[in-house]
Amino acid sequence: MVAVFGETRRAAIARELTKLFETVLDGTLATLAERVATDADQRKGEFVVILEGVGDEAEGRLAEGRRLYAKLCEHLAPSQAARLAAELSGAPRKALYQG
């Protein structure tokens, strides 16, 4: 998710809702990834992930561009994937290629 939406996108992870070990974590995707990686208990059970919506149009284009770039990189060279993702999403090519 960090690769597609960026590490600063806010989210919440709700685990084991309505059960004894229910937990809800919130923060940026980067901090959530770190917390889950360092706590084995947070990797067990059933999860609901809630992701913050896109704030503005430019951020939305960048998020879509990153999603496209990640998928295109499975089949194309990074430079080609960035060029096509930028063309399709309207996101800046440099931001996709470096991100």
Return the CATH number at 22. 3.30.950.10
Q: How many domains does the chain have?
A: 2
**Residue 90: strand, helix, or coil:** coil
Q: Are residues 10 and 47 in the same domain?
A: yes
What is the structure's pLDDT at 26? 95
Residue 82: closest CA among 71, 96, 70? 96
What pTM value is reported for the model?
0.55
What is the structure's pLDDT at 99? 53
What does the alpha-carbon distance between residue 30 and residue 73 come to, in Å, rounded to a whole number? 22
Q: Are residues 81 and 41 in the same domain?
A: no
Q: Are residues 40 and 9 in the same domain?
A: yes
The range of the structural domain enclosing residue 78 comes to 57-98
Q: Are residues 8 and 46 in the same domain?
A: yes
Q: Are residues 62 and 22 in the same domain?
A: no
**Could you list the mean pLDDT of each consecutive 10-residue stretch along the chain, which spans 99 residues?**
84 92 93 93 91 78 90 93 92 82
Q: Are residues 30 and 9 in the same domain?
A: yes
